[in-house]
Structure 1
Amino acid sequence: MDLYRTISSIPADFGPSVVTIGNFDGIHTGHAAVLGTVVNLAREQGLTPTAVSFDPHPAVVHRPNEPLHEIMGQPERQQYLAELGIDAYILLHYTLEFSRQSPEEFVKNTFVDALHARYVVIGEDVRFGHNNAGDLQTMRQLGQTFGFEVVTIDELMADETHRTSSTRIRQLLAEGKVEEARQLLGRPHRMVGEIVHGAARGRELGFPTANLSQQSRGFIPADGVYAGWLIDEHGKRHPVATSIGTNPTFEGITQRQVEAHVINRPDEPIENFNLYGQEVTVEFLHYLRPTVAYTGAEALIEQIAQDVLDTEEKLAEN
């Protein structure tokens, strides 16, 4: 997949193309439906399947005082887009100045002049241009003006009251509902980051943990313990019981930490099973329990041993 970060970097002979637009945070099942239509239509017509997005997320620019914790990082987003068959990803730098383009200016500059769009695939709730003034009807009118066809995708519903959306997935993850989030994502939620040294308390308790860096990518689910998998840099999957929180049994920890205990580590010297410095992926499949402050190490050790058993049982169900 080709990545372009500016309009000027797009080749003059690009396309013609089938284009969609979105933030694509999480690449959930609703996104997959839109992107699948883009790819299938492009293959049928001999066109270039193309996705247009923005970095940073527009919400960060327009509401800088409201933190936005994205579901996945850009590297993972690009990986999934490529796997779905997108050939060109236009990742435009979003600024207040950029946002002042009228709907017509944005469509002409991006879809028409740069990408030579023959088809634009969008959801019925699309908004674009200055102050989100452009909507589906606007896009159809611009399609008639500039000679591209607009294809709409029906909205996917998560349930009777919620549509499938990145906002809904963030809400579920913030509540620890990783199983429900998995249904909307179409796969387990993931975090990606480097394994760094921690306080070594897990090792002292007999349950060493792989600690994700504070710079890891991906939404951190609610505090608690989860059953899931760790995928190392070699692609090997390891069952893990992952704890999220500040470890309230011990004092002095103020930052939330993501610590994954690898289950059934091979009986070999720890240096032969060294994850430090590796960029790994942690998958969250099942929520096991909330984070609890125990009155001593012995009670905590007993609970962690139970977490391991519960993790093995849960993973055996999948």
Structure 2
Amino acid sequence: MEKVRNFNNLDSKISTVVTIGTFDGVHLGHQKILKRLVNTAQDTQLKSVVLTFFPHPRMVLQNDANIKLINTIEERSNILEKTGLDYLCIQKFTKEFSRLPAEDFVKKILLEQLQAKRVIIGYDHHFGRNRSANIDDLRRFGELYDFEVEEISAEDVNEVAVSSTKIRKALKDGDIEKANRYLGYPFCLNGTIISGKQIGKQLEYPTANLKIEEAYKLIPKHGVYVVKATINTQTVYGMMNIGTNPTITDSTKQHIEIHFFNFNANLYNQSLEIKILHRLRDEKKFDSIEALKLQLQQDEKDSLHFIAEQHD
């Protein structure tokens, strides 16, 4: 898959089949659309293109700094690459771009830049200035400018019964199993390991502290989770706490700390992808450090039991 941010770099000799959307989460519903896109491209000797937008339109139009997304743009790109897609085209979303009339969007983006011969789009898709145009308008433009429009019906969408909104809610509720079921893969956190306060080491549970740069990345509900990561080609399991360490500190600052089982190496400044597999419990304030240590021992037992069950 080729990632394209400057559409002028796109090979002008190719013809494409395009689908359009944010694709936050690249969940099972999205995957169904993408499979259709890739298969259509193969059947028609066209190149498959996903046209997506970044930043998220709501961040720009509503100045909504609080919006949280399932994937960062890099995570989204990595997941899309596994679908067999030919091109991921990332349109920078600006207020100026949002004012582009629907017909200009079709002519300048779909036709001139993406060389679209076919567009696969949802029955409820809206586009152009003020999102004023719909699939009927797109069909009319298709007849006028000689490209085909294929509709993703309500039945196709509802059959999967998955949405990015449902997944975001599940993550905020701490229901990682539901989120992973809807995604079709484990929800991930990507970040850099930074130096912490060495509290975990004092508790005999040293942790790697994960720093996530993207403020818009959705972080699941505070609590303790079973996780896994690939470190130097080795699969390593662990338990992760998301929260404020209320037993140790009065700070309200959120930390993401992972204790890896049977693993001892310097991870500082390394980039890691943490896959979240299962939620153990809420974060809570304990009456003493000893009570916290006992709970950590129980968390480890519960984590190892879960991991063993997955491999039965």
TM-score range, shorter chain: over 0.9
Matching residue of 1:180 = 178
Q: After TM superposition, list the pairs within 5 Å mapping 1:95-174 onto structure 2.
A: 95-154=94-153, 155-157=156-158, 163-174=161-172
The percent identity for this pair of structures is: 35
Residues 150 and 235 (structure 1), Cα distance of their counterparts in 2 relative to 1, 3 Å cut? farther
Question: Residue deviations 1:114-166, cap 9 Å, x none?
Answer: 1121111112221111111121212222211111111122443488xxx4221
Q: Distance in 2 between matches of 1:196 and 1:135?
A: 47
User: Quick one: which amino acid aligns to residue 222 of structure 2?
Assistant: D
Contact 2:190 2:272 in 1 (8 A): yes
Matching residue of 1:58 = 57
Task: Give the C-alpha shift of residue 313 in structure 1.
Answer: 1.4
Would you say 1:201 and 2:189 are equivalent positions? Answer: no
User: Quick one: which amino acid aligns to residue 292 of structure 2?
Assistant: L
In the alignment, which of 222, 227, 235 is matched to residue 233 of structure 2? 235
Which deviates more from structure 2 when the two are superposed, residues 177-186 or residues 1-10? Answer: 1-10
Q: After TM superposition, list the pairs within 5 Å mapping 1:77-92 onto structure 2.
A: 77-92=76-91
Task: Give the C-alpha shift of residue 253 in structure 1.
Answer: 2.8
The number of residues matched between the two structures is 307
Find the residue that maps to 1:35 and give its secondary structure. Answer: helix
Contact 1:214 1:257 in 2 (8 A): no
Q: Distance in 1 between matches of 2:230 and 2:164?
A: 24
Q: Distance in 1 between matches of 2:6 and 2:134?
A: 24
Q: Distance in 1 between matches of 2:214 and 2:97?
A: 29
Q: Distance in 1 between matches of 2:178 and 2:144?
A: 43
Residues 157 and 301 (structure 1), Cα distance of their counterparts in 2 relative to 1, 3 Å cut? farther
Unaligned runs of 5+ in 2: none
Matching residue of 1:313 = 305
Would you say 1:73 and 2:65 are equivalent positions? Answer: no
Contact 1:191 1:216 in 2 (8 A): no
Q: Distance in 1 between matches of 2:179 and 2:305?
A: 21
Question: Residue deviations 1:275-312, cap 9 Å, x none?
Answer: 11111111111111101000111000000111111111
Q: Distance in 2 between matches of 1:288 and 1:158?
A: 31
Would you say 1:23 and 2:15 are equivalent positions? Answer: no
Q: Distance in 2 between matches of 1:256 and 1:101?
A: 40
Q: Distance in 1 between matches of 2:58 and 2:107?
A: 23
User: Quick one: which amino acid aligns to residue 74 of structure 2?
Assistant: P
Contact 2:190 2:212 in 1 (8 A): no
The runs of 4+ residues in structure 1 deviating greater than 4 Å are none
Residues 107 and 35 (structure 1), Cα distance of their counterparts in 2 relative to 1, 3 Å cut? same
Find the residue that maps to 1:156 and give its secondary structure. Answer: helix
Would you say 1:7 and 2:12 are equivalent positions? Answer: no
Q: Distance in 2 between matches of 1:300 and 1:255?
A: 19
TM-score, normalised with respect to structure 1: 0.92
Q: Distance in 1 between matches of 2:183 and 2:79?
A: 12
Which deviates more from structure 2 when the two are superposed, residues 52-61 or residues 146-155? Answer: 146-155
Task: Give the C-alpha shift of residue 252 in structure 1.
Answer: 4.3
Task: Give the C-alpha shift of residue 10 in structure 1.
Answer: 2.8
TM-score, normalised with respect to structure 2: 0.93
Contact 1:176 1:222 in 2 (8 A): yes
Q: Distance in 1 between matches of 2:309 and 2:133?
A: 47
Matching residue of 1:259 = 257
Q: Distance in 1 between matches of 2:191 and 2:233?
A: 14
User: Quick one: which amino acid aligns to residue 169 of structure 2?
Assistant: Q
Q: Distance in 2 between matches of 1:297 and 1:177?
A: 28
Residues 278 and 216 (structure 1), Cα distance of their counterparts in 2 relative to 1, 3 Å cut? farther
Root-mean-square deviation (CA, aligned residues, Å) is 1.7
Residues 237 and 158 (structure 1), Cα distance of their counterparts in 2 relative to 1, 3 Å cut? farther
